[in-house]
Amino acid sequence: MTQFTLNLIFIGGSFAIYIGIAIWARAGSTAEFYAANRGVHPVMNGMATAADWMSAASFISMAGLIAFTGYDNSTYLMGWTGGYVLLALLLAPYLRKFGKFTVPQFIGDRFYSQTARIIGVICLLIISLTYVIGQMTGVGVTFSRYLEVSNATGLWIGAAIVFAYSVMGGMKGVTYTQVAQYVVLIIAYTIPAVFISLALTGNFLPQLGLFGTHEASNTLFLTKLDQVVTDLGFKEYTAHNGSTLNMVLFTLALMIGTAGLPHVIIRFFTVPKVSDARSSAGWALVFIALLYTVAPAVGSMARLNLTTTMWPGADTGETFSEPAVSLADIETAPNLEWMRTWNTTGLLNWEDKNGDGLIQYYNDTGPADSPAMVAAAENGWQGNELTEVNRDIMVLANPEIANLPGWVIGITAAGGLAAALSTAAGLLLAISSAVSHDLIKGAISPGISERGELLAARISMAVSILVATLLGLNPPGFAAQTVALAFGLAASSIFPVLMMGIFSKRMNKQGAIAGMLAGIISTLVYIFTYKGWFFIEGTNQLPDNLDNWVFGIAPASFGVIGAIINFAVAFMVSRVTQEPPEEVQVLVESIRVPRGAGAAVQH
C-alpha cells in the first residue's frame, strides 16, 4: 500500500468521524448552538477545551520553533500553560456564574453599555481572525504535503470540512467533534515521539529521553545536541541567547492572552454548574500536559535527526567525517524521499551554491572558529545550501526523517489536521456567536426570532470561514508566530476588561470603553509598525525592524504593555466619571460570592 493511500485512509477516516458526530449532535436551538445547552460534562469539556486550545500552533509549529531556537522558545510552553492557571483561578468560574453566552454579552451587561458590547465584538473579531489565520496556515501546510495538492487547494478542502461540521452542529457539534479530535491529535503526536525516543535514547517516554543518554555517542542527549549544533556554527541549543526582557514580556503576553481568548472562554459556558467551570479548566490542563510535556523532546529530537541526515558523521561525533548529503542521493535514496516530497510543497529548499554536488548545511554567519566555518574556508563552501526549512514542517516531517512506518506518517497527518481544524472551529464559532448574538440580536435587530437568530449564526459562520480561508492564503508568519500576535491582542483588550469587570465594583462603562480602545489600538499600531502592513503589501516575508523596537520590545511581546495601558486608562477615566449604578455594583459583588459552587444564577 502506498504512502498516499495510507494518508487518504487516515485523513478520510478521521473526517468521516467528525462529520458523523456533527450530524448526530446537530444543534436545534440557539442554546445548543451557542453553549451546547449547558450540558457538557467537565471531563468531556476539559478534553474539548484541550483540543480547542492545542491548535496548529501547538501541534505543528511550536516544536518546530523550539527545534531551531531551543531554550528561548520554551516561552511558548510556559506562557500558554500558565495562562490556563490564570483562567481557572481568575475568570472561568465567575464568568460561568454570570450565565451568559458570549464574552461581548458579559462586557455589555456588566458595563451597562451597548457601545461597550460592540467594542467587545470588534476586539473579538480582530483577535479571532488573527488567530484563525494561523490555523488555516497549518491546514494548508498539512494538506499540501499529504494529499499532494497546492497550499491553496488544501486550505479550501479544510474550509469545506470545517463548514460541514461547524455550521451544522454549532457548539454542541463542535464540542463532541473536538473530543474525537483530541483523541486523534494526542495519539498522532505521541506515537512518533515514542518511536523516535526509543531509537535515539532507548527511553520509551520522550520526556525521559530528552534528559537521557544519546545511545549512538553514549553522551547525554542534550549535551550531544549542543555539540552538534555548535559544530555547525549555530548557537547552543540549551543556552539563553535572546533578550531576557522580551522573554519575560512574551511569556506574560501569552499567559494573560490565554486568559482573554474568547473562543477558550466560551467553552466554560457549556458546563452545568459554576464549579464545573473550574473543574473543566483543571482537566484541560491535564490533557494539554500530555502534549506539552512531549513537545520539547519532539523539537530537540527533530533538530538532531535533521542535522544527522544532512551530516551523517554527526551521529557519532565526527561532524565532517562523512560528506554532506549529495544531490544524487536526494534524487534517488529511499531514506531521503521526505526531502523530495517536502520540496514539492515549497517549504523545504536547497541550492548547490559551489557546484560540488553536495548540500552543505551549516550557519554561514556563525563563529569563525567553529568547525563548520573552518571547513568552509578549507573546502571553498559558498554558504549554507539548505536554504529553507519551514518551521511548520518539522513535526509533520519528523516521522519521515526518522524512517518510521507509513501508518505512523498517516496518523501524524490526521493529527495535524485535527489540531488545526478543532481550533479553527472554536474560533469560527466565537466569531459567529459574536456577530449573530451580540451584533444582530443585541444591537441591530433585538426582536429577531430564535429561528432567525440561528440562521444568522450559521450564515455568519459560513462568511467567517470564507474570510479566514482567504486570509490564510497569505499569512504574516509561521503558524505559532501568527497565533502569538493574537495573544498579544487578547492580552491588551479582553483580559483587562474581564478582570476589572469581575473584581472592581468602581469600574464603569466609560473606563472600560476607553481602556479597551487604548489597549487594542496601541497594540495594533505597534504590531503593524514593526511587523509590517502585511495585508497591504501582500507578503508573508516582511522582516521585523529590530533596530527600531521601542526599548527592544518585540511586537509579539507588546501585549503586556497594551494591557498595562488598558488598565491605566480605564482606571483614570473611571475615577473622573460617575460610579456605576447601584444594581451593577450589587451584581459584581454577587458574581464573586464563594457559594458559586452551586448552580449558576441567570441574570
Q: How many CB atoms lie within 10 A of CB 294?
A: 23
| 35 grid coordinates | 453553549
Residue with cell 472600560: 512
In a domain? residue 92:
yes
In a domain? residue 208:
yes
Cβ-Cβ contacts under 8 Å for 259 (sequence gap 6 or more): 83, 84, 86, 87, 90, 91, 495, 498
Q: How far apart (Å, rounded) are the C-alpha atoms in residues 74 and 60?
A: 15
In a domain? residue 591:
yes
Q: How far apart (Å, rounded) are the C-alpha atoms in residues 444 and 300?
A: 52
Residues paired with 348 in a beta bridge: 389
Cβ-Cβ contacts under 8 Å for 204 (sequence gap 6 or more): 194, 197, 198
| 105 grid coordinates | 454579552
In a domain? residue 168:
yes
For position 236, what pLDDT does the model report? 92
Provide the residue range defining the domain that includes 564: 3-301+400-597
Listed in sequence order, the DSSP H helices in 39-150 are 42-53, 56, 63-69, 75-86, 92-98, 103-110, 114-146
Tens-place pLDDT, residues 13-49: 888 888 788 777 776 666 666 666 677 888 988 888 8
Cβ-Cβ contacts under 8 Å for 45 (sequence gap 6 or more): 175, 267, 268, 270, 271, 276, 280, 283, 284
Residue with cell 491535564: 286
In a domain? residue 324:
no
In a domain? residue 155:
yes
Residue with cell 459552587: 597
| Half-sphere exposure for 473 (CA within 13 Å, toward CB) | 13
In a domain? residue 318:
no
Q: What is the largest CA-CA distance in the chain?
A: 80
Directed axis angle between helix 479-503 and helix 103-110, to 10°?
A: 30
Q: How far apart (Å, rounded) are the C-alpha atoms in residues 335 and 199?
A: 16
Q: How far apart (Å, rounded) are the C-alpha atoms in residues 323 and 344?
A: 25
E-strand ranges in 344-487 read 348-349, 358-359, 388-389
Per the CB < 8 A criterion, the answer to whether 124 and 104 are in contact is yes
| 498 grid coordinates | 474581564
Dihedral, 85, 86, 87, 93 alpha carbons, nearest 10: 100
Per the CB < 8 A criterion, the answer to whether 174 and 32 are in contact is no
Q: What is the mean pLDDT of the chain?
A: 83
For position 553, what pLDDT does the model report? 85
Q: How far apart (Å, rounded) are the C-alpha atoms in residues 525 and 540?
A: 18
Cβ-Cβ contacts under 8 Å for 486 (sequence gap 6 or more): 127, 128, 130, 131, 134, 257, 261
For position 141, what pLDDT does the model report? 72
Tens-place pLDDT, residues 384-429: 999 988 887 888 888 888 888 889 888 888 888 887 777 777 777 7
For position 321, what pLDDT does the model report? 67
For the chain, the C-alpha Rg in angstroms (whole number) is 25
Query: How many structural domains comprise the chain?
Result: 1
Q: How far apart (Å, rounded) are the C-alpha atoms in residues 70 and 77?
A: 12
Residues paired with 388 in a beta bridge: 349
In a domain? residue 356:
no
Angle at 491 (CA atoms; ends 531, 81), nearest 5 degrees: 100
Cβ-Cβ contacts under 8 Å for 431 (sequence gap 6 or more): 124, 125, 128, 129, 132, 460, 461, 464
Q: How many CB atoms lie within 10 A of CB 74?
A: 18
Q: How many CB atoms lie within 10 A of CB 598?
A: 10
Ranges of residues in the chain whose predicted pLDDT is under 50: 478-479, 533-545, 594-603
| 204 grid coordinates | 520509551
The helix/strand/coil state of 205 is coil
Q: How many CB atoms lie within 10 A of CB 448?
A: 17
For position 92, what pLDDT does the model report? 80
For position 532, what pLDDT does the model report? 56
Cβ-Cβ contacts under 8 Å for 48 (sequence gap 6 or more): 40, 174, 175, 176, 178, 179, 182, 267
- For residue 452, the domain's CATH number is 1.20.1730.10
What secondary structure does DSSP assign to 478-536, as a single string? -HHHHHHHHHHHHHHHHHHHHHHHHH-TT--HHHHHHHHHHHHHHHHHHHHHHH--HHH
Q: How far apart (Å, rounded) are the C-alpha atoms in residues 90 and 216?
A: 48
Nearest alpha-carbon partner for 423 in 168, 128, 172: 128
Q: How many CB atoms lie within 10 A of CB 153?
A: 14
